Amino acid sequence: DTAVSQTPKYLVTQMGNDKSIKCEQNLGHDTMYWYKQDSKKFLKIMFSYNNKELIINETVPNRFSPKSPDKAHLNLHINSLELGDSAVYFCASSKLGSHRGSYGYTFGSGTRLTVV
Amino acid sequence: QQPVQSPQAVILREGEDAVINCSSSKALYSVHWYRQKHGEAPVFLMILLKGGEQKGHDKISASFNEKKQQSSLYLTASQLSYSGTYFCGTNNAGNMLTFGGGTRLMVKP
């Protein structure tokens, strides 16, 4: 009954590999997000996506791409992994609302990615 | 533009009060507050949508000064369970929250 679930919880992989992280929400929310949390705990927005609009943080390398098969899923695909990609990646979801940012986010439990 | 939080860290004894501040260089549509415990996901505490709005949740409350582009989180009579890292998230435009660098709060017995 987890509201926002991510898999896998841990991911260890070699440089240059391609990997995906899956995210699913059962809250009926219409917007999903990906955040990266680095070793200093800084939470950085990567993407915001609903069925009408994909917003990409301009600082995110194009090796990262979100893929949404339906409203309840937003997967993160990463090509050519680099050492600097090591971090915890959080998926989140919220309602969009008429007033932007007017609903709280529910976060998944995170995926700890380690690139060796 | 990332909001700025202060202080970066706070150590309290149980029962003491604390204030965490969040300021932005841009006009704000809303301010969110979250708490993250070690090894866990951030958890939503509250949201403030209007200038001057104050909200409360148990002994944790927050205010939003739209004119000054600032928000403050007030923790009253702190409990051990309040320990964690507190993040403010600001919504300037679009539909993405930008989070501050976090304030690490430790409550000791």
Put residue B82 in one of left, alpha, beta given phi > 0 → left and psi -120 to 50 → alpha: alpha
Chain B partners within 8 Å of A103 (Cβ): 47
Q: Omega of the bond prior to B42 within 30 degrees of 0, cis?
A: no
A46 contacts A61 by C-beta, under 8 angstroms: no
Q: Verify whether the Cβ–Cβ distance B85 to A41 is below 8 Å.
A: yes
| CA closest to A57 among chain B residues | B96
What pLDDT does residue B27 have? Answer: 81
CATH, range A4-97+107-115 = 2.60.40.10
| CATH number for the domain that contains residue B57 | 2.60.40.10
List, for residues B27-46, the tens digit of each pLDDT value.
Answer: 888 899 999 999 999 999 99
pLDDT in tens, A54-101: 888 888 999 999 998 888 999 999 999 999 999 999 999 998 765 666
CA of B98 to nearest chain A CA: how many angstroms apart? 7
Kindly list the domain boundaries of chain A, sorted by start residue: 4-97+107-115
**Number of domains composing chain B:** 1
Domain hosting residue B30, numbered range: 4-108
Q: What are the chain B neighbours of A102 within 8 Å (beta carbons)?
A: 30, 47, 49
Task: Test B96 with A99 for CB contact under 8 angstroms.
Answer: no
Residue B81 at interface with chain A, using a CB cutoff of 8 Å: no
Q: Residues A39-47: what's their mean pLDDT?
A: 92
Residue that has been written with the tokens 């000054």 in this structure: B68
